[in-house]
Every structure is written in structure tokens, then in C-alpha cells.
Amino acid sequence: MRHLEQLKPEELGAICLGLFKSQITLSERATRRLVDRTLAVVKDMSDFGIANVMKLMRFSYLDHLPWLGAMGSEVPRRAPRMEVQGLMHVVLACSALHYRDERILLAVAEQLPNVVSWCRSKDAAKMVWAFGNLRVLPNQCPKLYPCLIEMLREHQLEFQRFPEHLLTGLLGLAFAGLFPQDLLSLVSSAEFINKACNSQELELKKDLFTVDGTVGLELPALTVPRLSHAMREEVTKQLCDFAQSDICQKPEVIEAEAVLRKLLGGEMFVCKHMILPHLRSIDLEVYLDQNDQPVPGSSGVCLQNLLSQNWEQTLSGVSINDVLVAQLTNSQKPSNKFVQKPAVHKVEPVHVRESIFSVGVDLTRSSRLDDSKPSIQRLAVQQLLGFHALKRRQLTLAGYRVVELPHWEWFPLL
């Protein structure tokens, strides 16, 4: 810090890389000062140095808006000459920081087809995740996802050593509503599941569960192998235990639940649980009648009830006291037969509005009411983070109207 102002652009980039590689955490104030200094010399930094700053910001979760704003002009200017790993680190940092700047994202997306042949499976998977997470839709960049999907296919042998890369890529594609049947067949094959579940370094069962639950809900007719009922139960219990011990105890969740109970008139009007366990987060569920007035829900429901739910019932005719909308199908006949040009199934956005950050409370325009209780609307109140687009789509399929609280309105509750 004492010599910060004397450091040259490439020295600053090297320091950022060293801190990232060694996983050393500076204070937020020190990190911010370091990025302040890099911003002052950003015009003279190499592309490599800029990628290193983005790595440090991703590691530190530093929301340095002036630097990110500068990237809106620097990345489009530099993208045509940047290497694929540098492009990957730029969009991955934006994804980790939940920062969506179309100037950055579209500049990288346009350049990728020119350098995608140098992609490793790791690069392709992380870029799919980043673009999908930030809601870059297929119609915005028609060449983006096809070329990344092709890279995932070309690197199938690498998934024997790095199964996490295929899961990362498939989750990113699911965010964008894309489902390549051959890759889904691969990830749900007995060989892949055994390798993923026996990994000593990584816990991959949750990712497998998310992919499986997503396919079951969004593409019930797709003939790919499915996870066993026993494994789904095992992972659901893990997620429930974690939710009870961690997520449910977070101050912002407790406060949001208390505010809703006060607003609606009592605890019987708010049910805190996991509507879709495979998406790994809890929800505050509210029931409204045809006049938009709150009605009591199933106050006895708690997270443990998820374990006793029938995961294989269909969505039609679900009563309002059922807190878990089950998967639409199971017991598909396993198939390991791959074709040369497998289909990529698309799931269109539920609504025309697909902005990741919308100002204020955002209500979807319509809801699919429960057939058995046509006068009841089920509201799922969710925080706008991570899996939000995938979850919003699936909650709508499950018959909920989704109420999204942006993070800048969520945390001020405290």
C-alpha cells in the first residue's frame, strides 16, 4: 500500500494474479485502493493484466463500479485481439459479480466463434455458465451457444477426468433454456453418475440433482436416463438439513418472513420452505384468493415434509396444501445411443420480459392457476440471485406467480 502509486501497470496486474492464485484475501478497503490504482493506468495495461484484475475482483466479490464501467469501453476495443482464456475470465467475473453490461457480453460473444477452437472444456463450460447466468439469450447472439455446445461435445473425453465441467456447462445452458439431448444422456448415464458421485475432491450430487429436476420439470417427454429415487431423496435431505441450519437462520430471511407475516396478518399466511428442492434455495410461499386477499396456507408444513413427497406425480390437480410440485415423469428407459447431430431442445422464455435486473418489485403478468382450486393464486417470493431465471421459469410452470425482490431492496430490510 505504501508504494502503490509507484507501481507500473503490469506490476499491478501481476500482484492481482498473485493474490488470486494464492487465495490471499485483502481487506475490502485495500482491494478497492488496488483497483483504484489499476483504473488510473488501465489504458496502458495489457489484456493479460486486465484479465488478472478481473480474477481478483471475482475472488474478492468486489463491486468496483468505476472499473466495471471502464470495461464497458475497454473490452469491446480489446476483444478482437484477446485470447480465449482472457475472454472467459472477463465474462466469468461479470457473472460472479452479477454485473450485466451488454457492451462487454456482446463483444465477447461476437469474438468467441473466432477463437473457440482454442477452448478447453473448462473454458467452454465456464463461459456457458456466465452467459446463461447473466441472461444472454440465444436470439441475442445466434452463434454463441451453438459453438460452445460444439466445444463441449468435442471435449467429451475430458469429462472423464473433470465431470464438474460438463455439469457446469449443462446448468449454464439450462439457464438459457437449451437442453442438448446427447449431453444430457451422457451426464445421466450410470458411468458418469458413478464417476461424479465417487469424486474425492468435489461434491457433485447437488449439480446432478439440479440437472435431473430441471429436465423432469421442463422436458418431461425427453427420453434420457434419470437419477434414482434413492439418490433424489438423499440429496433432498442434505439440502433440507442445510437450509434449516443455514439459510433459514440468515437475518435477512428471518426479517423478510417477519415483515410478510406482519403485512398479511399472521404467521399462518406465510410458509417458509423449499418449493423446488433441486434448485437449492428456500421460498416464502403465500396464497391469495380471487380478490388478491391472503388466505391461510398449510401452517404445519416444514422443510422435513419434502422428504415424504411423491416426486413423480404430475402438476395437474395439485391442491394448495401440497408444498412441493413434483417432477412430471420418471423411469425413462436408459439410452446410450448418440447421434451425430443431436437435437438441442429449446425452452422459450415464459414472458417477453427477460431483463435480469428490473427496477422495483416485478410481478409476472399472468399465472397458471391450480386446476383443483381455480380461485387460489400461489405466490412464491424469491430473491433475485444466481439461479433466479431458471427458478422463475420452473415456478411459473408449477403454477406460481413469482414476486422478485431485487437485492437492493432485500438487504435494506435489515
pLDDT tens digit string along 368-403? 334 344 577 777 776 654 477 788 889 888 888 888
- Integer Cα distance of 7 and 357 in angstroms: 37
pLDDT tens digit string along 51-100? 999 999 999 999 899 999 999 999 999 999 999 999 999 999 999 998 99
**Do 164 and 37 reside in the same domain of the chain?**
yes
Q: Is residue 265 part of a domain?
A: yes
Q: Where a domain ends, among 172, 201, 216?
A: 172
Amino acid 54: pLDDT = 97
**Do 149 and 13 reside in the same domain of the chain?**
yes
Amino acid 374: pLDDT = 53
- In 3D space, the residue among 324, 320, 319 whose CA is nearest the CA of residue 307 turns out to be 324
Q: Where a domain ends, among 116, 145, 172?
A: 172
**Do 165 and 270 reside in the same domain of the chain?**
no
Amino acid 367: pLDDT = 32
**Do 285 and 405 reside in the same domain of the chain?**
yes
Amino acid 347: pLDDT = 65
**Do 166 and 242 reside in the same domain of the chain?**
no
- In 3D space, the residue among 111, 120, 107, 196 whose CA is nearest the CA of residue 151 turns out to be 120
Backbone angles phi, psi at 45, to 5 degrees: -80, 150
Q: Is residue 231 part of a domain?
A: no
Residue 88 · residue 151 · CB < 8 Å: no
**Do 249 and 390 reside in the same domain of the chain?**
yes
Amino acid 310: pLDDT = 42
Amino acid 334: pLDDT = 34
Helix (H, G, I), strand (E, B) or coil at 344: strand
Q: Is residue 397 part of a domain?
A: yes
- Integer Cα distance of 407 and 217 in angstroms: 27
pTM: 0.77
**Do 268 and 160 reside in the same domain of the chain?**
no
Q: Is residue 196 part of a domain?
A: no
Contact partners, residue 299, CB within 8 Å, separation at least 6: 267, 268, 271
Q: Is residue 233 part of a domain?
A: no
**Do 250 and 383 reside in the same domain of the chain?**
yes
Q: Is residue 214 part of a domain?
A: no
Helix (H, G, I), strand (E, B) or coil at 138: coil
- Find residue 179's DSSP bridge partners: 345
Plot region of 345 (φ>0 → left; ψ -120 to 50 → alpha; else → beta):
beta
- Integer Cα distance of 148 and 128 in angstroms: 7
Helix (H, G, I), strand (E, B) or coil at 178: strand
**Do 159 and 31 reside in the same domain of the chain?**
yes
Domain count, the chain: 2
**Amino acid letter, residue 171:** L
- What stretches in the chain show pLDDT beneath 50? 299-340, 349-373, 385-386
Residue 204 · residue 196 · CB < 8 Å: yes
Amino acid 318: pLDDT = 33
**Do 245 and 167 reside in the same domain of the chain?**
no
- In 3D space, the residue among 363, 367, 375 whose CA is nearest the CA of residue 293 turns out to be 375
Helix (H) or strand (E) segment spanning residue 380: strand 377-383
Q: Is residue 403 part of a domain?
A: yes
**Do 271 and 390 reside in the same domain of the chain?**
yes
Q: Where a domain ends, among 121, 142, 172?
A: 172
Q: Is residue 327 part of a domain?
A: yes
**Do 253 and 132 reside in the same domain of the chain?**
no
- In 3D space, the residue among 204, 239, 211, 238 whose CA is nearest the CA of residue 227 turns out to be 211
What does DSSP say about strands 178-180 and 283-288: parallel, antiparallel, or unpaired? unpaired
- Integer Cα distance of 60 and 47 in angstroms: 20
Domain boundaries, position 140: 4-172
- Integer Cα distance of 412 and 414 in angstroms: 5
